[in-house]
Amino acid sequence: MRMFKETSLIFSRQLDRVETLGRYTIVRRYGKMVGLLALLAIAIVFPLVFSNSEETGIALFALIFAAAVTGWNIFSGYTGYISLGHAAYFGTGAYALAIICQVWNVPAGYTPFLFVPVAGLVAAVLAVPVGWIALRVRRHTFVVITIAIFFIFQLLAINLTEQYTTTGSLNLPIPVDWTGDFYNIPFYYASLILLLVAIAISWWVRNSKYGLGLLAIRDDEDRALGLGVKTVPSKLAAFVISAFIVGMAGAIWAYYVFVIYPPTAFDATFDVAFVLMAFLGGVGTISGPILGALLLESTQQYFTSVLTQNGGYYLIAYGALFLAVILLLPRGIIPTLSERWARYQVSRHQSLQEHDAIVTALPTPDGVAENVERKEGINL
Amino acid sequence: MSLLDAQGISKSFGGIHALDTCSISVEQGTITGLIGPNGSGKTTLFNVMTGYERVDSGQVRFKEQAITNAPPDKVFRLGIGRTFQLTRIFPRLTVLENMHVAVQRNSLKGLFSRWSSAHEQKSALELLDFVGLTSLKNLPAGNLSYGQKKLLEFAFVLIAEPQVILLDEPAGGINPTMINYLTERIRTLNQRGVTFLIVEHNMEFVMGLCDKVMVMHRGAKIAEGSPAEVRANPTVLEAYLGD
Amino acid sequence: MLGLIVEAIILGILTGGVYALMASGLTLVFGVMNIINVGQGALVILGAYLSYFLEQQLHIDLFLGLLLTMPFMFGLGLLIEFFFIRPIKRDRTMFSILVTFGVALIIEGILNIIFSANPVQLSAWYITASLPVGGFNLFNFHVGIFYLPFIYVFGFLLAVVLLGGLYLLVYRTKFGFALRASMQNRTAAELIGIDVERISAITFGIGIALAAAGGMAYGATNLFNAGSAYDLISRLLAIIIFGGMGSLSGALIASLGMLVIEDVTTVVWSPSWATTVFFILLVVILLLRPQGLLGKVEVRKQ
C-alpha cells in the first residue's frame, strides 16, 4: 500500500514536471520572440544613435556580409556541401548591377536599389548551369570545384573587363546629394532589408518539407534518395537560392564602393570570409551566420583601419583566427552554446529529481511547501 | 502473382562476380526469406533491386513492369521500401523529423510546410507508436540505441505505405525480446497485406517467420521452398558447410 | 607560326613537369589521407623564398640549396600534419581544407612581413643564359631557332629525377606498398599492421618537400611574391581535379596538358585567355567524366 502511494506520488510529480516544462517552454518561446524584436528595434535605430559615418560604415558592411553568409548557409549549411567559391556570385551581382546601371542609365539615388534584386537574379540564373555541373561530383571534389569555378569567374571578369572597358574597372552611379554622415544611411537600411529578406528565406526553407529534405541530404544523401527525396533538384534549388541572396549582397556592396575592379569584386578573401563567419557562428543554424558575420566583419574593419601599414600581420591574425575557430570551436558559437544550455537544463532537472526523492520520503507540510516553491522557480 | 522479381541478374565488381544470372521471385502477400553464406550476394541483390547498383545484365521487375536500373527514389515511390544492414537513419534530425523525410509529396506543397498534411502527421505518430518510439520522438536520432535505430528505420520505411519491404538483416545485433517484437510487427503488417523479402542469418528468425525461403550461394539461387524443405535440402547444407 | 607552336609545346612540357612536381604532392596526400591541402600554393612560395634567401644571403646555388630546403620543408610538413591535421577527428576532408587554408594564410602573412610584397625572382647563370633550340624540319616546315633558358631544361630534369624517385618509392619499396595499401583501404591496411598514421605523416612531409623543389623551379622562372600563392593553388587544384584526385599519373598528364594548352593558346590566341581556356576545358571534362581523367569512380555513398 505504501509502495503504491510512493510510486503514485513520484508519478504525479513527473506529470507536474512535464507540465511545468511546458509552461517553461512557452515562456522560453515568448522570451525568444521578444528578444528578436528587441534586436530588430536596435538594428533599426542604430544609425540614428551612432550616426558617425565610420560607425555606420562598419555596421553596413557587417549587414551585407551577414546577408551573404546567410545566403551561403542556405546551401552549404543545410545540405552540407561546403562551397568555397560563393564569392563568384557576390562578384556577379556586383558586376550585374554595374552593367545594368550603365546600360540603362540608371540615375544615382534610390533607384539603383530597385535593381538589386535584378542583379541577384542574374547571379541566380548563372548559378543554374554552374550548380548543375558542380553538383555532379561527390562532396570532396565539390569543394575543390567551387574554388576552380570561382577562379573561372574571376578570369572571365578580368578578360572581359579588359576587353570592354578602357579603365579596367566598372563605375556605378554616385549619389552626390547624399552628403556627409547621411551618405551611409540608405545603404545601411538597404542592407538591413536584404538581411531580413535573407533571414526570412532561410527560416522558411529550414522549416519546410523541402528544407527537411536538405537536412536529410546532409546527414545521409543516399538514404534520403532511397526515401524518395529528389536530391538533385533539391540541391540545385538551394544552390540557386543562395546565389540569388549572395548576388544581391554583392550588388549593394558594389553600389556602396561605386568602383569595382575584377580582383575586388571577385575577391578570394570573400570566399574565406563567408566560410569563416558561418563556421564561427554555427553552420546550419539561422542565427549563426549573422553572429559570425557581425563579429568578424566588425573586427576586420577595425583591423584594417589599425593595421593597414603591413598586410602581413593582418593575414597572420586572420589565419590564426581561422585555425582557432576550426580546431577549437568546430561547431560554431551558437550550437556550442545551445548544447551547453541543454546540458545545463538536463542537470537542473536531475538535481530536481534528487530533491524530489528526498521530499517524497518526508511527507511533511514543509516538504510540500518546498516543492511548490521549486515549481515557481522553474516558471521564471 | 509475382510482385517483385529479378531475372537473370549478373553483376561484377572488378573481377568478383557478386551475382551470376540470379533469378528470384517474391509472391505478393508473402514473407519470403533470403538466406545464404556470407558473400553469396544477398546485399548486392538488394542493392540491384532497389536501384543502388546498376546491373551488368538481367532484369528487375515490379508487378511485371521492368524497373531495372531505376534510381532509388523512383523505386521507393513505386512502393518498394528497404532497410540497410548497417542501419541508416538521419542522426542529426529528431526521431519525428526522420519519419517525415520519407513523406515526400509534390514539390510545390513541400515548400510551404514541414508536415504536408494533418493526415501525414498522424501517420507518423501512429507509426512511432507502432514501433514503440513515441516517447523518444523529439530526441536526435543519433542518440538512439542500435535496436531503437533499427526500429526507426523500419518505421520510416513504412510511412509511405510500401507494397513490398526488403529487410536486410533486421535481426542482426539486437536482443531476443526485440527480435520477437519485430517478428510480431512484421506479422501484423503482413496480415494487412504488406509483402516482405528478408535477408537474414538468424535461422530461427527466418524459419519461424517466413512462408518461403530462398537460398543463395556464389551469386545465384540454389534452392527454394518452405522452411522445412530448405532445411532438409542437402545442397543447402553443402553450401553452408562446404565453403 | 608553326615554329611558335612547337616552341610553345616544348615550353609547355618543360614547365608542365615542374607543375607535376607540385601537384604530385597534393594528389598523393589526397589519395592517402583523403585531405586536400589548399596550402600547397603557399608552401610552394615558401620553398621559393627559402631558395631565394639561401641564394641571396648565403650564395648557395639553387639546386644545391634544395639539399637544405627539401629536408626542412619535409620536417615542416610533419609538424603541420601533427599539429593541425591530426587533431581533426570528424569530417576530415572538409576541415582539412579549412585548416590548411588557415595555415596558408599564416605562411603568406609571415612571408609578406619578411620579404615585403615586392615581386622577386631567383637568379643564377642558367636562368639568364639560354640554349639555342630548333633549326630542324618538321612536316616540311622549318622550325626556326629559338632560345630556351637553361633553367627550363634543368627544372624539367629535376622534376624527372624527383618524380622518378617518387615512382620508385611508391611502386618499388615496402613503404610504397604500405602507402598504396593505405590509399586503397585504410581499415584493411591498419588490420594488417600498417601504421597508417605514420604513413600519412610521412606522405604529407613528402608532399611538402616536393613543394620545396617545385617552388625553386617556379621561383626561377617566374616573378613571385606572397600573393602568388592564390594563383598557384587554383591551378594546382585544377590540375589534380583534371587528372583525377589521388592519381599520380593523372597529375602528370594533367600538368603537361594544362601547360601545353596554355602556352599554345597564348601563341595562337592571346595570353589573357590562356588560363581561362584551360579552366573551361576542365569544366568540359567534368561534364563527361566527373572523376577526372584517371580518378576512381565514386562509389554511391557520399
* Alpha-carbon span B13 to C142, nearest angstrom: 52
Q: Taking each helix axis from N to C terminus, what angle separates C274-288 and A111-134, rounded to the nearest 10 degrees? A: 50
Mean pLDDT across B37-46: 87
pLDDT in tens, A219-238: 999 899 888 888 899 999 99
* Alpha-carbon span C44 to A124, nearest angstrom: 36
Q: How far is B99 from chain A (nearest CA, A)?
A: 10
* Alpha-carbon span A201 to C25, nearest angstrom: 42
- How many CB atoms are located within 10 Å of the residue B25 CB? 17
Report residue C160 CA to chain centroid gap: 13
A86 within domain boundaries: yes
SS3 B165: strand
Q: Are strands B16-27 and B31-35 parallel, antiparallel or unpaired?
A: unpaired
At residue A374, the pLDDT reads: 33
Chain A residues closer than 8 Å to C240 by CB: 144
Query: Residue C117, by phi and psi: left (phi above 0), alpha (psi -120 to 50) or beta?
Result: alpha
A218 within domain boundaries: yes
Within an 8 Å CB–CB cutoff, is residue A212 touching chain B? Answer: yes
**Which of C87, C107, C279 is opposite residue A327, by nearest beta carbon?**
C87
* Alpha-carbon span A274 to C63, nearest angstrom: 41
Burial of C281 per CB tally in 10 Å (0-12, 13-18, 19+): middle
Please name the helix (run of DSSP H) or strand (run of DSSP E) that holds residue C260, with its range, or none: helix C248-268
Q: Do A253 and A200 sit in the same domain of this protein?
A: yes
A354 within domain boundaries: yes
Amino acid A85 reads G
What b/e sequence results for A110-147 when a residue is b if at least 16 CB atoms lie within 10 Å of its CB, and e otherwise?
Answer: eebbebbbebbbbbbebbeebbebbbebbbbbbbbbbb
* Alpha-carbon span A175 to A110, nearest angstrom: 8
Grid cell listed for A227: 526515401
* Alpha-carbon span C48 to C212, nearest angstrom: 7
At residue A308, the pLDDT reads: 58
Reference A118, options A141, A136, A132, A101; nearest CA is A101
Residues lower than pLDDT 70 in chain C: 134-143, 296-302
What b/e sequence results for A73-87 when a residue is b if at least 16 CB atoms lie within 10 Å of its CB, and e otherwise?
Answer: bbbbbbbbbbbbbbb
Interface size, chain A vs chain C, as Cβ–Cβ contacts under 8 Å: 134
Q: Do A68 and A45 sit in the same domain of this protein?
A: no
Q: Which chains would you list as touching A if contact means 3+ CB atom pairs under 8 Å?
A: B, C
Please check the confidence at residue A23 and state whether its pLDDT lies above 60: no
Q: Which residue of C has its CA nearest to A144?
A: C237
Please name the helix (run of DSSP H) or strand (run of DSSP E) that holds residue B33, with its range, or none: strand B31-35
Q: Which of C27, C84, C106, C293 to mutate to test the interface with A (most CBs of A within 10 A)?
A: C106
Q: Do A108 and A221 sit in the same domain of this protein?
A: yes
Asked whether the beta carbons of residue A315 and residue C109 sit closer than 8 angstroms, the reply is: yes
At residue B114, the pLDDT reads: 62
Looking at every residue in chain A, the average pLDDT score rounds to: 80
Q: Which residue of A has its CA nearest to C86?
A: A327
Asked whether the beta carbons of residue C109 and residue A314 sit closer than 8 angstroms, the reply is: yes
Chain A residues closer than 8 Å to C279 by CB: 148, 151-152, 155
Looking at the DSSP assignment, which residues form a beta bridge with residue B199? Answer: B34, B168
Total number of domains in chain A: 3
Grid cell listed for B173: 545485433
* Alpha-carbon span A359 to A361, nearest angstrom: 5
Reference A182, options A47, A91, A32; nearest CA is A47
Interface size, chain A vs chain B, as Cβ–Cβ contacts under 8 Å: 86
Asked whether the beta carbons of residue C234 and residue A310 sit closer than 8 angstroms, the reply is: no
Residues 6+ apart with CB under 8 A from A73: A202, A242, A278, A283, A284, A285, A286, A288, A289
pLDDT in tens, A331-367: 788 888 877 777 777 777 666 555 555 444 434 343 3
A10 within domain boundaries: yes
Query: Of A49, A69, A89, at which residue does a domain stop?
Result: A49
In chain A, % of residues over pLDDT 70: 81
Asked whether the beta carbons of residue B76 and residue A231 sit closer than 8 angstroms, the reply is: no
A301 within domain boundaries: no
A361 within domain boundaries: yes
Q: Do A65 and A32 sit in the same domain of this protein?
A: no
A329 within domain boundaries: no
Grid cell listed for C140: 616540311
Q: Do A179 and A270 sit in the same domain of this protein?
A: yes
Grid cell listed for C246: 589521388
**Which of A139, A144, A319 is opposite residue C302, by nearest beta carbon?**
A139
E strand spans, B124-190 = 164-168
Q: Cell numbers 522560453 correspond to what residue? A: A28
Reference B186, options B201, B205, B203; nearest CA is B205
A331 within domain boundaries: no
Query: Of A27, A49, A71, at which residue does a domain stop?
Result: A49
Q: Do A91 and A212 sit in the same domain of this protein?
A: yes
Q: Do A276 and A358 sit in the same domain of this protein?
A: no
Amino acid C110 reads I
pLDDT in tens, C111-141: 988 888 888 888 777 777 777 776 666 666 6
Q: Do A70 and A36 sit in the same domain of this protein?
A: no
**Which of A137, A140, A313 is opposite residue C286, by nearest beta carbon?**
A137
Cβ atoms of C267 and C253 closer than 8 Å: no
* Alpha-carbon span A295 to A277, nearest angstrom: 8
Q: Do A93 and A148 sit in the same domain of this protein?
A: yes
Return phi, psi of residue B212, to 5°.
Answer: -135, 145
Q: How far is C279 from chain A (nearest CA, A)?
A: 6
Query: What residue numbers bound the domain in which A31 lies?
Result: 1-49
Angstrom distances, CA of residue C275 to CA of A142, B29, B229, C264, C270: 21, 62, 70, 11, 10
Q: Are strands B31-35 and B212-217 parallel, antiparallel or unpaired?
A: parallel
Q: Which of A137, A146, A222, A270 to mutate to test the interface with C (most CBs of C within 10 A)?
A: A137
Please check the confidence at residue A169 and state whether its pLDDT lies above 90: no
Chain B residues closer than 8 Å to A211 by CB: 114
Chain A residues closer than 8 Å to C88 by CB: 327
* Gyration radius from chain C CA atoms: 19
Confidence of residue A321 (pLDDT cuts 50, 70, 90): confident
Q: Do A100 and A244 sit in the same domain of this protein?
A: yes
Please check the confidence at residue A9 and state whether its pLDDT lies above 60: no
Please name the helix (run of DSSP H) or strand (run of DSSP E) that holds residue B66, with its range, or none: strand B65-66
At residue C45, the pLDDT reads: 94
Confidence of residue A79 (pLDDT cuts 50, 70, 90): very high
Grid cell listed for B228: 522445412
* Alpha-carbon span A20 to A186, nearest angstrom: 47
Chain A residues closer than 8 Å to C105 by CB: 272, 315-316, 318-319, 322
* Gyration radius from chain A CA atoms: 26
Q: Are strands B220-225 and B65-66 parallel, antiparallel or unpaired?
A: unpaired
Q: Which of B82, B84, B101 to mutate to test the interface with A (most CBs of A within 10 A)?
A: B101
Chain A residues closer than 8 Å to C286 by CB: 133, 136-137, 145
Residues 6+ apart with CB under 8 A from C264: C5, C8, C9, C12
Going by the DSSP 8-state scheme, the letter that residue B137 receives in this structure is T
Chain B residues closer than 8 Å to A226 by CB: 50-52, 72-73, 75-76, 82
Q: Do A85 and A37 sit in the same domain of this protein?
A: no
Q: Do A365 and A283 sit in the same domain of this protein?
A: no
Please check the confidence at residue A64 and state whether its pLDDT lies above 90: yes
Check residues A313 and A283 and name the one with the higher pLDDT.
Answer: A283
Q: What is the dihedral of CA B23, B28, B33, B34, to 10 degrees?
A: 20
Q: Which residue of B has its CA nearest to A219?
A: B90
Asked whether the beta carbons of residue A230 and residue B75 sit closer than 8 angstroms, the reply is: no
**Which of A138, A145, A162 is opposite residue C302, by nearest beta carbon?**
A138
Q: How far is B230 from chain A (nearest CA, A)?
A: 32
Q: Which chains would you list as touching B if contact means 3+ CB atom pairs under 8 Å?
A: A
Please check the confidence at residue A16 and state whether its pLDDT lies above 70: no
Asked whether the beta carbons of residue B156 and residue A208 sit closer than 8 angstroms, the reply is: no
Query: Among A88-92, A107-111, A310-314, B121-125, where is mean pLDDT lowest?
Result: A310-314
Query: Of A263, A295, A327, at which residue does a domain stop?
Result: A295
